[in-house]
């Protein structure tokens, strides 16, 4: 028998979340962001559920090739643009749209030989201070691109640093509007958080939204709002089973470092899931886990292949009992929050050794 751990990708949930995002941004076209191998879900595995999107946005040229290999003929956008001049050949060959965030990328375009003018997304740095042209340099970049025969359409994009939080998007949105005023071309500014929280404003939702995490059923602003609040369903469930049960006496510890010590006799279970499966090693005692559908808690340190759980709330549980680490019945955001991280990191880190099925 194979080790009992298994991840399931829920095609129906992906479709549902896409629909939900369309409701949040009526009239806008929608990039399904599938970077990082579709946030750990697997590009090939989410394709059926997300093919209702208007385009796929990603970073890696190899991932773009995989989307084309699935038969997708619609738009594909490279969110960070090309990394070296010869990447432009693949952009021409596969009709990839690409972000342009610095002058070197424009230099490379100017030297590129192509009969097919490229669709580029000119990126403004409106305050995130990661990628993009500074406000005072955007128009010069736009003028340079406009003059190139290698460039067809020029769209305009920026990325918000605080769409999920109290600071909000107002300052960055004002910069974007001021700097791009009067320039032709489509606009795209909203990630998941901006799509769900700010896209009631038709100007903000603009021509294209770019949700990632919400398509996979994660809340972009947990714990302020959970996935249920946003009407999202988990697209990944990580399940395993108990492979052993035991008991601790008062004073007994469990796991490496003896970080948890029982204060009274208690039953414990050992789950076939560890950090080599992508479960966060830094999840502390108390992190929620479901056993036979009942909510209980992690005990002690997570090890490479196993973790331990409290069986007090589930007295009937025994070896073989079903365990849910996250997904249906246990929001990934809650597990991530307990571990001091975000759902994004957990889903992206699902390890290659975990067998995945698609339902």
Ligand X SMILES: *Cc1c(COP(=O)(O)O)cnc(C)c1O
Give contact residues for ligand X (rule: CB under 6 A): 33, 35, 79, 159, 191-193, 210-213, 220
Q: b/e string for 296-319 if b means 16 or more Cβ within 10 A? A: bbbbbbbbebbbbbbbeebeebee
d(CA 338, CA 306): 18
Q: Which residue is nearest to ligand X (CB)?
A: 212
User: How far apart are the C-alpha atoms of 45 and 47, rounded to whole Å?
Assistant: 6
Question: Is-catalytic flag, 256?
Answer: yes
Minimum CB separation from ligand X for residue 214, in Å? 6
Choosing from 216, 256, 279, 344, the catalytic residue is 256
Which is catalytic among the residues 35, 123, 279, 344? 35
Smallest gap from Cβ 159 to ligand X, in A, equals 5
How far apart are alpha carbons 323 and 273 in whole angstroms?
A: 10
Between 40 and 300, name the residue whose CB sits nearer to ligand X: 40
> Could you tell me the smallest distance in angstroms from the CB atom of residue 296 to ligand X?
30
Contact 271, 289 (CB under 8 A): yes
Q: Which is nearer to ligand X, 209 or 270 (CB)?
A: 209
- The set of residues, in sequence order, having a beta carbon less than 8 Å from that of 245 and lying 6+ positions away, is 267, 268, 269, 270, 311, 317, 318, 319
Least distance to ligand X from the beta carbon of 33, Å? 4
* CA 335 to chain CA centroid, nearest Å: 16
What is the rounded CA–CA span in Å between residue 217 and residue 233?
Answer: 5
CB of 198 to ligand X, least distance (A): 12
Least distance in Å: CB of 264 to ligand X? 43
Q: Does the annotation count 123 as an active-site position?
A: no
Q: Judge contact between 95 and 72, C-beta under 8 A.
A: no
Whichever of 215 and 270 has its CB closer to ligand X, that residue is 215
Compare residues 35 and 239 and give the one whose CB is closer to ligand X.
Answer: 35
Min dist. Cβ of residue 331 to ligand X (A):
16
For the four alpha carbons of 344, 51, 351 and 2, in that order, the dihedral sign comes to positive
Closer to ligand X by Cβ: residue 158 or 237: 158
Measured from the CB atom, the residue of 167 and 353 that comes closer to ligand X is 167
The half-sphere exposure of 26 on its side-chain side, counting CA atoms within 13 A, is: 3
Nearer to ligand X by Cβ, of 191 and 296: the residue is 191
Residues tagged active-site: 35, 256
């Amino acid at each position: 028998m194979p080790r009992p751990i298994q991840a399931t990708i829920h095609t129906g949930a992906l479709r549902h979340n896409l629909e939900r995002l369309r409701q949040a941004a009526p009239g806008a076209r929608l990039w399904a962001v599938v970077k990082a191998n579709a946030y750990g879900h697997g590009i090939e595995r989410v394709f059926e559920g997300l093919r209702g999107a208007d385009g796929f946005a990603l970073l890696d040229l190899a991932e773009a090739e995989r989307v084309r290999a699935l038969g997708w003929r619609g738009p594909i956008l490279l969110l960070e643009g090309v990394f070296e001049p010869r990447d432009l050949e693949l952009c021409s060959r596969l009709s990839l749209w690409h972000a342009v965030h610095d002058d070197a990328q424009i230099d490379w375009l100017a030297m590129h030989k192509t009969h097919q003018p490229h669709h580029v997304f000119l990126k403004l740095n409106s305050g995130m201070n990661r990628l993009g042209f500074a406000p005072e340099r955007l128009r010069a970049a736009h003028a340079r691109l406009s003059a190139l025969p290698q460039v067809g359409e020029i769209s305009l994009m920026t990325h918000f640093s605080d769409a999920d939080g109290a600071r909000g998007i107002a300052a960055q949105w004002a910069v974007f509007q001021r700097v791009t005023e009067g320039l032709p071309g489509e606009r795209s500014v909203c990630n998941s958080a901006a799509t769900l929280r700010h896209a009631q404003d038709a100007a903000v939702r603009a021509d294209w939204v770019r949700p990632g995490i919400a398509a996979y059923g994660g809340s972009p602003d947990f714990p302020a709002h959970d996935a249920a609040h946003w009407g999202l369903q988990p697209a990944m469930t990580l399940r395993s089973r108990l492979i052993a049960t035991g008991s601790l006496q008062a004073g007994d510890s469990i796991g490496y470092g003896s970080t948890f010590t029982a204060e009274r006799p208690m039953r414990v279970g050992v789950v076939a899931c560890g950090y080599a499966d992508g479960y966060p090693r830094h999840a502390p005692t108390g992190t929620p886990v479901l056993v036979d559908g009942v909510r209980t808690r992690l005990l002690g340190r997570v090890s490479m292949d196993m973790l331990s759980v409290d069986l007090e709330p589930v007295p009937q549980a025994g070896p073989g009992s079903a365990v849910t680490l996250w997904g249906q019945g246990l929001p990934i955001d809650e597990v991530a929050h307990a571990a001091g991280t975000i759902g994004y990191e957990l889903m992206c880190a699902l390890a290659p050794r975990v067998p995945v099925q698609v339902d």
